[in-house]
């Protein structure tokens, strides 16, 4: 059994890659917003962070002036919106924040297969 501690940027172990998947909309309560702020904090600590909005989470990217999306983009977080979920909710590119891009499930599979990627689903 491996008993080595997990190394983080704080202890000199370098940076990690995080792929955060948000399936809840902003109205789902404070946890949805807190999860996105965790992404901002991780990016601020020097980690590579990608947020994938899926299911009702895609509604968080609707509109051009969404504070949560603005904060993510300002922190350098890559923001992806599930193309299928967006289509199911009639959200075309023109109805989404300019800080996001549509991506398919193959993007999730590729990211989670990366050696240094840590996936978190909310």
Q: What pLDDT is recorded for position 4?
A: 38
CA gyration radius, the chain: 15
Candidates 50, 53, 49, 73; CA nearest to 61 is: 53
Give percent above pLDDT 70 in the chain: 84
Q: What is the mean pLDDT of residues 55-60?
A: 92
Q: Which residue has the higher pLDDT, 55 or 7?
A: 55
pLDDT for 63-121, tens place per residue? Answer: 888 888 999 999 999 999 999 999 999 998 889 999 999 999 999 999 999 989 999 88
What span, in angstroms and rounded, lies between the C-alpha atoms of 85 and 24?
12
Confidence of residue 11 (pLDDT cuts 50, 70, 90): very low
Does 21 have pLDDT greater than 90?
Answer: yes
> What is this structure's pTM?
0.84
What span, in angstroms and rounded, lies between the C-alpha atoms of 28 and 7?
33
What span, in angstroms and rounded, lies between the C-alpha atoms of 28 and 11?
35
């Amino acid at each position: 059994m491996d008993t080595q501690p997990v190394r983080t940027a704080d202890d000199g172990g370098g940076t990690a890659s995080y792929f955060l998947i948000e399936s809840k909309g902003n109205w789902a309560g404070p946890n949805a917003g807190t999860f996105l702020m965790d992404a901002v904090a991780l990016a601020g600590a020097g980690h590579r962070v990608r947020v994938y909005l899926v299911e009702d989470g895609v509604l968080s990217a609707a509109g051009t002036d969404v504070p949560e999306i603005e904060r993510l983009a300002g922190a350098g977080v890559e923001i992806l919106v599930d193309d299928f979920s967006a289509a199911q909710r009639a959200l075309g590119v023109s109805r989404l924040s300019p800080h996001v891009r549509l991506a398919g499930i193959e993007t999730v599979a590729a990211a989670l297969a990366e050696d240094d990627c840590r996936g978190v689903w909310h």
